[in-house]
């Protein structure tokens, strides 16, 4: 974003050339959290591809969106499990989501966003931000320190 007055956009980019193929306003983007005169709109954060579509966390909306990648249309949305949602992961039909402010990682039912399980981290743990899962093991990263953490 070169102009902070413009709403955040989601881009479809050619991986080989870096050329923008499509662009649309990120649904639910805007201001959230501790708003100051220097605040700029926040857009999409965590993204996770699932069956030809993608899930996107948009903290300002308080929602997680399932999106159609060719049009930017919303397939459906579910309530986010907190204010500052970021990383997403998908495992065996369940959607995982980081809520950074509470230092919680939630396992959600993707049909309605209902929490199925939660992992509460402590203030001494690195702050969860990005998230993924591989072979049943959750991995998260801390944006401030750059640490990558494995949950066992």
CA distance 65 to 62: 10
Q: What is the pLDDT of residue 1?
A: 55
Q: What is the pLDDT of residue 2?
A: 62
Q: What is the pLDDT of residue 24?
A: 92
The closest of 53, 56, 51 to 70, measured between CA atoms, is 53
User: Do residues 8 and 27 touch, judged by C-beta distance below 8 A?
Assistant: no
DSSP 8-class letter at 125: S
Q: How many CA atoms lie within 13 A of 3 on its CB side?
A: 3
Mean pLDDT per 10-residue run, the chain (152 residues)? 77 94 91 80 90 95 95 95 93 95 95 96 92 94 90 82
9-28+40-151: CATH homologous superfamily?
YVTN repeat-like/Quinoprotein amine dehydrogenase (2.130.10.10)
DSSP 8-class letter at 6: S
> Which DSSP helix (H) or strand (E) runs through 120?
strand 115-120
- The per-type count for the chain, helices as H runs and strands as E runs, is 0, 13
Domain chopping of the chain, boundaries = 9-28+40-151
């Amino acid at each position: 974003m070169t102009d902070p007055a413009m709403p955040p956009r989601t881009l479809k980019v050619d991986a080989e050339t870096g050329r923008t193929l499509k662009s649309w306003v990120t649904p639910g983007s805007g201001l959230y959290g501790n708003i100051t005169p220097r605040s700029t709109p926040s857009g999409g954060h965590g993204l996770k591809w699932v069956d030809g579509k993608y899930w996107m966390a948009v903290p300002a909306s308080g929602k997680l969106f399932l999106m159609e990648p060719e049009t930017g249309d919303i397939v459906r949305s579910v309530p986010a499990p907190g204010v500052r949602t970021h990383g997403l992961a998908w495992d065996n039909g369940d959607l995982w989501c980081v809520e950074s402010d509470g230092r919680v990682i939630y396992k959600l039912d993707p049909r309605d966003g209902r929490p199925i399980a939660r992992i509460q981290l402590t203030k001494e743990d690195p702050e969860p931000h990005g998230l993924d899962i591989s072979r049943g093991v959750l991995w998260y990263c801390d944006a401030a320190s750059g640490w990558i953490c494995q949950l066992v």
